[in-house]
């Protein structure tokens, strides 16, 4: 209904890649994290890092429906950490570079990122600034043809292996949202330090780091767009990140349900397969209902995006729904497996651990509720 044969061709391409190049390795990557410099060039070669991006920089120049197909197929990756590392490259660290970056920045950083030759990370969160992004203290001070960056960042996905960061720093002291700059920061710059690789509950395929910047100098031309507007660019960039969680979540949730149904069809308890218990079947029905609602909201958002309408309200609603639904389904499926749901050999344990972050990262549930309430005038 929404997708034609070109979309289905892309779906088949991403599916083949996920089945062949990702899912067979996720157990290994959960222990040692995904080798991004090995995997990313393969994704780049297939054009999957540049679906929406301008062909002038190696992109495919396709629309949001193709992007949605790509995201839906990433949802079949059996480890959310691997999904996350890929999304950083496509939906977190590069949208603002594509939209607001200079020709020089796009040729130097975006083009190789689309080709998968360079690995990117998005550096916004700090020890004292997560939900409240404007409280960040990392500072970039102009010095001639350079900016000097001092400060730290926390919880940065891909940062251990990244070649560059898209980094938000304070460039002035005026209150409000016009005292920030968004910068491209090469990680081989003197003064860049990965102070700690972090040990996490889930998302173990992805590497996550605490970073420190000590008089790190970048050329002034590494500023994305205009000085003072970085916060605004980042708020726009968040919309891509938050949107990406919608298709991924409903597909991942459906996969969890399918594997659970396979199990409860053959698991005999009190003389009957568990699937015959109405209470369980109705719970499954509730979840697929939620999945369908989220999917239809997603397609509505895609139509809004195609019409160039602001979808912040709807994306916030979808992100809130996705986080809650993923947690509910992961927990409920684990419950249906009984003791087998508590064994690490069962993939549901990983989904359960991974899914927890969906209500925290990229703006916690409470932040989504706040945006929705504000936009509704409550």
How many DSSP H helices and E strands does the chain contain?
13, 10
Q: How far is the CB of 366 from ligand FAD (least distance, A)?
A: 3
Question: CB-wise, 234 or 260, nearer to ligand FAD?
Answer: 234
Taking the complex as a whole, the smallest distance from the CB of residue 325 to ligand FAD amounts, in Å, to: 17
Task: Please state, in angstroms and rounded to a whole number, the distance separating the CA atoms of residues 168 and 163.
Answer: 16
197 is catalytic: no
- Quick check: 155 binds ligand FAD (CB under 6 A)? yes
- Residue 214 interacts with ligand FAD (CB under 6 A): yes or no: no
Decide if 138 contacts 152 (C-beta within 8 A). yes
Cβ 330 to ligand FAD shortest distance, Å:
16
- Measured from the CB of residue 156, what is the shortest distance to ligand FAD in angstroms? 5
Residue among 111, 227, 241, 314 flagged as catalytic: 241
Rounded CA separation 177/130 (Å): 15
- One residue of 113, 124, 209, 294 binding ligand FAD per CB under 6 A: 124
324 lines the binding site for ligand FAD (CB under 6 A): no
Distance of CA 31 to the CA centre of its chain: 21
Does the footprint of ligand FAD cover residue 200 (CB under 6 A)?
A: yes
Taking CB under 6 A as the binding criterion, the range among 27-35, 111-119, 150-158, 263-271 that sits at the site for ligand FAD is 150-158
118 belongs to the binding site for ligand FAD (CB under 6 A): no
Stretch that binds ligand FAD, among 30-38, 72-80, 124-132, 264-272 (CB under 6 A): 124-132
Q: Least Å distance between CB 275 and ligand FAD?
A: 35
Nearest to 254 by CA among 134, 87, 27, 75: 75
Q: Is 209 in the site for ligand FAD (CB under 6 A)?
A: no
Where are the alpha helices (H) located in the chain, listed in sequence order? 5-17, 26-32, 36-45, 64-74, 80-87, 95-100, 103-105, 111-115, 230-266, 278-306, 312-337, 347-355, 365-375
- Shortest Å, Cβ 266 to ligand FAD: 35
The answer to whether 81 and 355 are in contact (CB under 8 A) is no
364 belongs to the binding site for ligand FAD (CB under 6 A) = yes
Show contacts with ligand FAD in window 43-102 (CB under 6 A). 88
Are residues 73 and 13 in contact, defined by beta-carbon separation less than 8 angstroms? no
Start-to-end C-alpha separation, the chain: 36
Q: How many residues bind ligand FAD (CB under 6 A)?
A: 22
Beta bridge partners of 140: 149
Of 209 and 257, CB closest to ligand FAD: 209
- Complex with ligand FAD: residue 302 or 371, whichever CB lies closer: 371
Q: Does 130 bind ligand FAD (CB under 6 A)?
A: yes
3-state secondary structure of 355: helix
Residues of span 157-176 touching ligand FAD by CB under 6 A: 157
Footprint of ligand FAD (CB under 6 A): 88, 122-125, 130-131, 155-157, 200, 203, 208, 357, 360-364, 366-367, 370
Active site residues per annotation: 241
């Amino acid at each position: 209904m929404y997708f034609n044969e070109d979309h289905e061709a892309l779906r088949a391409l991403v599916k083949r890649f996920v089945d062949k190049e990702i899912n067979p390795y996720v157990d290994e990557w959960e222990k040692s994290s995904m080798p991004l410099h090995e995997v990313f060039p393969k994704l780049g070669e297939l054009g999957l890092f540049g679906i929406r991006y301008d062909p002038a920089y190696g992109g495919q120049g396709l629309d949001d429906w193709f992007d949605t197909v790509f995201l839906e197929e990433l949802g079949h990756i059996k480890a959310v950490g691997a999904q996350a590392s890929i999304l950083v490259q496509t939906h977190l660290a590069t949208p603002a570079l594509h939209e607001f970056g200079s020709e020089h920045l796009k040729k130097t950083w975006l083009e190789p990122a689309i080709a998968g030759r360079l690995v990117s990370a998005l550096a916004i969160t700090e020890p004292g600034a997560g939900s409240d992004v404007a409280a960040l203290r990392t500072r970039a001070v102009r010095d001639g043809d350079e900016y000097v960056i001092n400060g730290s960042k926390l919880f940065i996905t891909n940062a251990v292996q990244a070649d560059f960061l898209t980094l938000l720093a304070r460039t002035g002291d005026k209150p409000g949202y016009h005292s920030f700059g968004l910068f491209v920061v090469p990680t081989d710059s003197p003064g860049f330090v990965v102070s700690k690789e972090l040990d996490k509950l889930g998302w173990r395929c992805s590497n996550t780091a605490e970073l420190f910047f000590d008089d790190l100098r970048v050329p002034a031309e590494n500023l994305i767009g205009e000085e003072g507007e970085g916060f605004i660019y980042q708020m726009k960039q968040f919309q891509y990140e938050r949107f990406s969680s919608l298709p991924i979540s409903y597909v991942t949730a459906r996969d969890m349900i399918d594997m659970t149904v396979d199990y409860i069809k053959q698991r005999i308890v009190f003389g009957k397969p568990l699937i015959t218990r109405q209470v369980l079947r109705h719970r499954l029905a509730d979840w697929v209902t939620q999945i369908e609602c989220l999917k239809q909201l997603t397609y509505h958002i895609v139509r809004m995006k195609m019409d160039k309408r602001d979808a912040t309200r709807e994306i916030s609603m979808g992100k809130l729904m996705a986080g809650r639904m993923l947690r509910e389904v992961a927990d409920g499926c684990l419950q249906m497996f009984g003791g087998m749901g508590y064994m690490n050999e069962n993939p549901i344990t990983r989904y359960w651990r991974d899914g927890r972050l969906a209500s925290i990262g990229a703006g916690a549930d409470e932040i989504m509720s706040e945006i929705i309430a504000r936009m509704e005038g409550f």
